[in-house]
Structure 1
Amino acid sequence: MFDTAQFTRAVNHYRQGELQQALAITREMVEKQVIQFDLFHLHALLSLESGDYASSLDAFERADALRPDYPPLLLSWGNYYQRIGDMKTALSCYDRAIAGQSDYADAHYNRGNILALSGDMDGAITAFERVLQLNPNHTAARNNLGSVLIDRGDIDAAIATLQQTLQLRRNYTLAHSNLLCAMHYHPDITATDLAVQFRQWRENNFINYPPITKTATADQRPLKMGLLSGALHTHPALWLSIAAFEQLNREQFALYGYSFGTKPDRMTARLRQCCVLWRELSNQSDAAITAQIRRDEIDILIDMAGHMQGRPLVAVMRAAPVQVKWVGGLFNTTGIKQMDWLISDEVETPEGCDAGFTEQIYRMPHSYICYSPPQISPPVTELPALKTGQLTLGCFNNPAKINQKLVIWWAKILRQLPQSRLLLKGKAYCSSVVKTRLRQWFQLQGVASERIIFETFSPHAELLNTYGKIDLALDPWPYSGGLTTIEALWMGVPTVTLPRPTFAGRHAASHLVNAGLGDWVVDSEAAYVEKVVWYSGHLEQLSELRRDLRQRLLDSPLCDARQFTRDFERGLLRMWHQYCDHQNILN
């Protein structure tokens, strides 16, 4: 018999976030063979949150038998399939919910999220726009629309959409971080524009959190060092850092991993072997993550996500005595005053730019990153132009980095080299909107669309193989290529770059200088074009460079993990000693 009072207690626990208490009640009722739709639905939700997927699925199926094709149940069931990684079935559930209720905004919203995750940007945008037709004040949908517009390279539309989101919800941290990111892709945004927006982010996300009262001593060892990120898997941030963590002196530093949203893979396994403790915090709030890091008494916290789907409020709440920004969502200052340090080098942040950063800048002696080449890589191929007789240029960067001003530069090169072509590769080229936009931009500059070749996403090994099709890489502007530049070098392909005076605009310059290719860093648009045109007439020199590049990279500071790690450790100790000296003065 259904006990209404008992079920009401479970609902109240659920609404108050007391999930274990609620689950204990619904489990008891289900075990008593109570048959009731709302009970099964709630039990399915609670079991899902607790990670008991078998019980959750069983409860969903029993609820569906009582009320087949009920839209709210299908929405929850879709969330179940999304949680376990079955995106196809999740999408089917949302579609069924919409079929039963065409104006079901939540189902359209979840459908948009699935499509965005699967790479269908055009479909995701349509879904989010439908949500906003139904509910113009749906700020999460508006933020996600802005995020997908960034991915599709619609930067003006993305900025406008995210600004509208913030007008509706001023302290929406994720939307404001997305706006900061979008602005760095725009060729006309100035340093002043960025400074204003960073200041507004800081004002909108002020949190008065209790200070850390831990007593610190300069000689305590090992120092507890935490890594915070939602991308502690195969991701540019780890390709550019994991070698240092593997070389870390265990007597000096104990590594702690704080992961949220990570998709575990081989790179995750490598990193976990470096850690004395690993915590998965995907479903935890910023305050809960901060509290956990404080309980673990972390001395130095390294943020490896920043404003790019990271948890910047953890730094605002002061999770550790010393907080450091390093690779991962590192495109400028964080704008967070509680972020004490930012790790860089003399090319990324030349002397004199410190005033634009809220952090102290620690400049590494050489490169600010340490590249870990893939254990299995395809061989470097011969220069394609020697066989084809035509130069094939390429850009494998995020298509969001390509703008109309940049296309004008590239078109000048293509017009001067009428037999050349341009290969563009990236996930966004699955979108017909993106391809049409770029073709139109090139046509406006007198370049036929058939000279522009598009390739979409491919697995990493296949991506590396694709470098065998191009002779020379073009760096985007104003947001430069990071890992993409290094992988091109690894595959024997040099990149020409024109730095911009922002951190995001100087990635390629830093990597090229540290690889001994400083002459590929130019100082004007004209020099950018001339560099490419010159090499089109000197293919033997380009071919010789191609054959030597991998070894040059291996011999450079970019791949010297041992030396990098010793420099990295000295930097961390300096940061710690400065903190301890400051505490001694206060005491």
Structure 2
Amino acid sequence: MAGKFQGAAAATPVGQATAVPQRTDLAKQSIELAFQHHQAGRIREAESLYQQALAVQPGQIDALYYLGVLYLQNGVQDAAEEFLTKALRKQPKFAEGHFNLGVALQEQGKLKEAAKAYNQSIKGDKRFVPAHLNLGNVYLDLEQFDRAASTFSKLIKLSPKSIEAHLNLGRASKSKGDAEGAMAAYRRALELNPEYADAHLNIGAILLDRNDYQEAKSAFKQALAIDPQNAEAYNNIGVAWRREGFLDHAMSCFARASEIKPGFGDAHNNMGAMYYAFGDTERAEEEARKGIEISPDSSAAYCILGKILRSRGKKLESIDALNTAIKLAPKLAEPYREIGLTLSENGQLDQALKAYNMALERDPEDGIAYNNAGMTHILLGQLETAIDCFDNAIKAIPTFSLAHSNKLYSTTYVPNISLEEIAQQHFEFGEIWDREYDDSNFTNPPDPDRPLKIGYVSPDLRQHVVVTFFEEILKAHDRDQVELFAYAEVHNPDPITERLKGYFDHWYSTVDRNHVEVAQKIRADGIDVLVDLAGHTGNNRLPVFGFKPAPIQASWIGYANTTGLKNMDYIFTTPNYVPPGSEAYFSEEIYYLPRVPTTFRAPSDPPELVGVPFERNGYVTFGCFNNVIKVGATAVDAWSEVLQAAPDTRLVLKSHAYRNEKSVEASRSAFEARGIDPARITFDGPSQHKDYLACYGAIDLALDPFPYNGGTTTLEALFMGIPLLALEGQSWVSRNGSAILQAIGEESLIASSVEDYIAKAVDFAQNPGKLTALRADLRERFIATGITDPVAMTRDVENAYRDLWQRWCKQRGGA
């Protein structure tokens, strides 16, 4: 992104060398005539005459030297090196000769040899400015940044008004981590020449690194004012817009840069990143590969390609591209961070953590790497370590809303945390992101009976558990009463994404877009009711709600707790989940729906219900199919007591994490430390959905974890006719199991305390006939609750939207 460094070219012949040995008249005449041709640009004639002089007088120093210069000026670097070296053997203190030899060596990439030549030139003439300039640049290329800075500083003392010296001192200072020194050097270059576009570019690059996007753009625009065709300036402005999240502005800048400079690899790479954000991954890959074709040594190009390939499901190709990025730039953190994400998505969690640690070794302030490492620790069930990572991410980037959300989400798994404390942590998030707004600025027509514009904000409009609840709602919406808008933060769209698009009247991708821009879009669309489906789960867009772009905003489905935002007007639930009197723990107004606020899509081809496992095995088998992060110390303590009190029982644990041996070993060790023989426990990894459901046929009683209960797993267990034992807690996340059981009238499966939970489990183990009776018609009773009736649920939600809308209209003086 920075401007180019400045160097000195080969010295042009301006006269004869001094202290030249006596020459023959013929050689002298040939050299003098050759010199005239040389200065006039008649290269062939000059070369022939220099060679003629050497034929007459081998080793003639002027002929050797000027022939070397001739070859140097015409790009024949190896021949230049040969003849200049021969000349210098005869005249070892010739400063200009060593300088030109340095140029020849530098052009061939022989940097260490070039540095020696320039040092010899300076030794011969300490005030030889071009030698200092080129020596500093060689040190830059050798990544000897301290030496480079020292060389340019000496040059500035010799030539205080050398713009090139100040510009290159800035480059050296920035490369060695002295951004302030670099900024001072660039500003001094501008004092000497305010029309120096490269200095403006380099100042902008430093401001960009500081995330000072407005000032960075200003610097790049100053470069453009000097040089309107400066492709680098357009590209860098695009980078600033992109980092701010204004993608359309960014794309126009990258396209302009590419138009000005068709072979500009960075512009193609950045356009690839934009197409990726826009969801056009095919075009994104095409642009990224163009960038690589132009700049095959660009680490950034391979890094962008790796991201795109990951999003297209080409995991192995992604890893190959990112490994290439690492080879090209082993000191950069980003390629390691990106390969960590690819490995994590591929289930290689231990390797992913190693990659994130490599990123953090290179950049200890890489908040994204800390956040991603935290998410990997969550997948491994390492809650405390995950929360530490999120804290470090927030420390590195205080406005990193997703890291803050990940921490809040993780705290809901922490046992023995008070409702007051967890609420306060959520409210602190709201204090950061809530913005003041003027309700009178909404232009939505306050007609209480008109069709409503409903906006759904979600990152999970793809293959995700939320879709199993939400898709049937979308199908059942009354399209005469609602117009549907999707604000989709879908980073990896898939065939389900394409299917879901068909249920919406309008679809807008929010990926990588600025929160302000998304809020402005929602306001411009005239949304009446804006609904968040994610809460503090991954890739949420809660900060958008903080700007209050819609007159009514509600949280539903995705998160069983407060968002912490005062500008989130309502949260949908039922008294089973959030009892009356819980208002102090919510920033939103609690809005009670008439039934459990979720719907379950029964599989089209479910496995057959099988007989009672106890009758086949002769012992009771407990089971839990929840995410391993939910199987914390409190649950393990209780389940271990059950297994000790009922020594003939077995336990089946099934989770995605158990495809990782490290997770299996951690869980096995936790039970063994509590005196349980690991042979009594089966650890099972993921399965295809129908096979996964069939696995319920192997257990007699599902054990709901706590303090964070199961969600989808609870519904699936009951649908498969498996009784579920749940502990009714204080928080929403610890009441999901009891809420569902109350809805189907199975209070006998609800425990009031940990002791009661253990006692009930042991009783069922000792009296398995009770479980047989419970299984008899459990699926039918589950279905009878209406949980599998999306039409009824949709009418409930639409009625809620209408009620809230009519309230707002009444406040605005509507009919």
Give me the TM-score of the superposition, normalised by structure 2: 0.67
What is the 5 A alignment of 1:92-491?
92-208=320-436, 211=439, 212-261=441-490, 263-264=492-493, 268=497, 271-309=500-538, 310-328=540-558, 330-491=559-720
Deviating more after overlay: 110-119 vs 206-215: 206-215
Q: 2:778 maps to which residue?
A: 549
SS of 2:730's partner is coil
Amino acid at match of 1:21: S
SS of 2:590's partner is strand
The 2-side partners of 1:359 and 1:145 are apart by 31
The 2-side partners of 1:342 and 1:277 are apart by 24
Contact 2:423 2:586 in 1 (8 A): no
Q: 1:521 maps to which residue?
A: 750
Q: 2:223 maps to which residue?
A: none
Report whether the alignment pairs 1:21 with 2:245.
Answer: no
The 2-side partners of 1:414 and 1:286 are apart by 50
Structure 1 residues 186 and 59: CA distance shift in structure 2, 3 A: closer
SS of 2:446's partner is coil
Number of residue pairs matched by the alignment: 577
Q: 2:79 maps to which residue?
A: none
The 1-side partners of 2:236 and 2:753 are apart by 64
SS of 2:324's partner is helix
Deviating more after overlay: 500-509 vs 7-16: 7-16
Contact 1:480 1:499 in 2 (8 A): no
SS of 1:415's partner is helix
Contact 1:170 1:204 in 2 (8 A): no
The 2-side partners of 1:12 and 1:265 are apart by 32
Amino acid at match of 1:179: K
Amino acid at match of 2:701: L
The 2-side partners of 1:182 and 1:262 are apart by 22
Deviating more after overlay: 242-251 vs 411-420: 242-251
1:143 Cα deviation from its structure 2 partner: 1.6
Contact 2:311 2:492 in 1 (8 A): no
Structure 1 residues 450 and 22: CA distance shift in structure 2, 3 A: same
Structure 1 residues 431 and 209: CA distance shift in structure 2, 3 A: farther
Contact 2:477 2:794 in 1 (8 A): yes
1:314 Cα deviation from its structure 2 partner: 1.2
Amino acid at match of 1:246: K
Between Structure 1 and Structure 2, whose CA radius of gyration is higher?
A: 2
Q: 2:194 maps to which residue?
A: none
1:345 Cα deviation from its structure 2 partner: 0.7
Contact 2:714 2:724 in 1 (8 A): yes
The 1-side partners of 2:311 and 2:266 are apart by 16
SS of 2:386's partner is helix
1:378 Cα deviation from its structure 2 partner: 1.2
1:187 Cα deviation from its structure 2 partner: 0.6
Amino acid at match of 1:15: V
More helix by share: 2
1:64 Cα deviation from its structure 2 partner: 4.3
Contact 1:478 1:504 in 2 (8 A): yes
Q: Deviations over 1:225-279 (max 9, x none)?
A: 1111010234332323433333333332222222111655565466444422222
Contact 1:97 1:104 in 2 (8 A): no
Amino acid at match of 2:367: T
Contact 1:340 1:359 in 2 (8 A): yes
1:220 Cα deviation from its structure 2 partner: 3.5
Q: 1:508 maps to which residue?
A: 737
Moved over 6 A (4+): none
Contact 1:105 1:131 in 2 (8 A): yes
Amino acid at match of 1:237: V
Structure 1 residues 204 and 565: CA distance shift in structure 2, 3 A: closer
Q: 2:271 maps to which residue?
A: 46
Q: 1:91 maps to which residue?
A: 319
Contact 1:393 1:420 in 2 (8 A): yes
Identify the structure with bigger relative contact order (alpha carbons < 8 Å, sequence gap 6+): 1
1:292 Cα deviation from its structure 2 partner: 1.5
- RMSD between aligned alpha carbons? 2.6
Give me the TM-score of the superposition, normalised by structure 1: 0.91
The 1-side partners of 2:575 and 2:641 are apart by 32
The 2-side partners of 1:234 and 1:487 are apart by 17
Structure 1 residues 72 and 248: CA distance shift in structure 2, 3 A: closer
Contact 1:515 1:557 in 2 (8 A): no
Deviating more after overlay: 503-512 vs 276-285: 276-285
Deviating more after overlay: 576-585 vs 113-122: 576-585
1:61 Cα deviation from its structure 2 partner: 4.7
The 1-side partners of 2:716 and 2:425 are apart by 33
SS of 1:424's partner is strand
1:27 Cα deviation from its structure 2 partner: 5.1
1:6 Cα deviation from its structure 2 partner: 4.9
The 1-side partners of 2:497 and 2:284 are apart by 28
SS of 1:584's partner is coil
SS of 2:336's partner is helix
Structure 1 residues 261 and 103: CA distance shift in structure 2, 3 A: same
Contact 2:229 2:260 in 1 (8 A): no
Deviating more after overlay: 196-205 vs 319-328: 196-205
1:11 Cα deviation from its structure 2 partner: 2.2
What is the 5 A alignment of 1:554-565?
554-565=783-794
Structure 1 residues 304 and 128: CA distance shift in structure 2, 3 A: same
Contact 1:367 1:558 in 2 (8 A): yes
The 2-side partners of 1:105 and 1:24 are apart by 27
Structure 1 residues 10 and 267: CA distance shift in structure 2, 3 A: closer
Q: 2:186 maps to which residue?
A: none
SS of 1:240's partner is helix
The 2-side partners of 1:246 and 1:579 are apart by 27
The 1-side partners of 2:581 and 2:307 are apart by 50
The 1-side partners of 2:784 and 2:423 are apart by 38
Unpaired stretches in structure 2, ≥5 consecutive residues = 1-226, 242-248
Q: Deviations over 1:72-114 (max 9, x none)?
A: 3322332332343322111111122323443331111111111
SS of 1:185's partner is coil
SS of 1:558's partner is coil
Deviating more after overlay: 567-576 vs 463-472: 567-576
The 1-side partners of 2:576 and 2:451 are apart by 32
The 1-side partners of 2:769 and 2:619 are apart by 13
Structure 1 residues 562 and 109: CA distance shift in structure 2, 3 A: closer
Unpaired stretches in structure 1, ≥5 consecutive residues = none
SS of 1:227's partner is strand
The 2-side partners of 1:258 and 1:361 are apart by 24
